[in-house]
Structure 1
Amino acid sequence: MEKNTFTFEEIFEQNERRIHYYLHKLKIRDPHQEFYQEGMIAMWNAYEKYQPDKGPLSTFFNFTIRHHLIDIVRKDSRRQEMEVLAPKEEDTAFEAEVYHKASTPVSPGINTTEHIPSDLELWLRVKELLTEKQWKWVQYYIIEDMSLKDIAAQEGVSIEAVKSWAKEAKRRLRNVEFEKILVEGEYL
């Protein structure tokens, strides 16, 4: 059977059941006939690319339709995964940013550095209590008012790593020892 002896409409009428067969075999639900249309496109592409010396047309139809439908299902599931995962990642980063920004009480139009004591001795005491990475978070985030994303980019680490530094720094600064430093320095 050569491609030129039959029109695509005739070939389609004879082979339409192949599309239904693969929809059923691959357990694809198709209430809006989207996958059926993709099967028709695959059949058209197979009809156009068919080379008689390579094998029977029916085998080529089977191969092309099946693989095209599998590709469409994979792309669709990947797209759905990204639609679910992307907002979660964005929400997590946004919530963390909002939480950290909300922990510093600042009124609109007021410079944040005005609320931060400029006492070098206090900051040196704070620095003594923290590790190098925790101090970087304090310095960049609290003193210099950088975002978590900017800190991560500057330090060449993930945002999650910077969040970890922040968590540990906060835990240490809530410690009774830090409170004593503030009391001794009369900052409370």
Structure 2
Amino acid sequence: MKKDNDQTFEEIFKQNERRIYYQMQRLGIKDPSREFYTEGLYAMWMAYKKYQPDKGPLATYFNYTIRNRLIDLLRKKASTLEVEEKNRKEAVTQLTEGNYIRNSHTPYPLPNVPDILLEDPIQWRKLKSQLTENQWKWIYFHILGDMSVKDIAIQENTTVEAVKSWGKQVRKKLKRMSEVGSFNFFMD
């Protein structure tokens, strides 16, 4: 079939529209959004514009162009899906791997206590026994876990001022204990 200057693209399209569906069916493409059909139509238009009669029949050129454009779109979609799946898996891994405290949709890693050198566990227990629960949280998260006061406040669902207050109370108790000499916690 040669390109006839008297035939418009609309006429040629009506005669060859089935080629798009045929190539989609051969490639096993389900197209509820008609994205692949549109790509096939565009491929047919480009083939119509670029067709050179001395290079072969128009029908063959349509088939070749439509098929290759559909394959390119399939590859692009598969690549995009791969990247999205990889990113999704990475996000899930970051949220679920290891020990985390979740509050307000923000993960906070728990300090890895075995990595902290506890030279005298008895002293740590003694300190914990003399502190309130919130004061110990300040020691555990701020001193041992190196979390900011703001992050602790978010995690514990309280104000920054409350967390600062816990820290002040801990420092007062430590100062008192060191003055009395009953607690030699930070000394070597």
More helix by share: 1
Contact kept? 1:3, 1:47, Cα under 8 Å: no
Segments of 5+ residues of structure 2 without an aligned counterpart are 101-107, 114-133, 149-184
Task: Sort the Cα spacing of 1:92 and 1:3 in 2 relative to 1 into closer, same or farther, 3 A.
Answer: farther
Match among 117, 124, 143 for residue 115 of structure 1: 143
Contact kept? 2:40, 2:66, Cα under 8 Å: yes
Measure, in 2, the Cα distance between the counterparts of 1:93 and 1:66: 41
Measure, in 1, the Cα distance between the counterparts of 2:47 and 2:77: 22
Contact kept? 2:43, 2:69, Cα under 8 Å: yes
Segments of 5+ residues of structure 1 without an aligned counterpart are 117-141, 146-184
The number of aligned residues is: 122
Larger radius of gyration: 2
Structure 2 residue 41 is matched with structure 1 residue 37: no
Match among 103, 110, 118 for residue 111 of structure 2: 103
Partner of 1:22: 23
Q: Which secondary structure state, in structure 2, belongs to the residue aligned with residue 4 of structure 1? A: coil
TM-score (norm 2): 0.52
TM-score (norm 1): 0.52
More strand by share: 2
Contact kept? 1:3, 1:50, Cα under 8 Å: no
- The alignment yields a C-alpha RMSD, in angstroms, of 3.7
1:75-154 alignment, distance < 5 Å: 75-96=76-97, 99=100, 101-103=109-111, 115-116=143-144
Contact kept? 2:111, 2:141, Cα under 8 Å: no
Contact kept? 1:8, 1:47, Cα under 8 Å: yes
Measure, in 2, the Cα distance between the counterparts of 1:90 and 1:19: 39
Among the aligned pairs, what percent are the same residue?
45
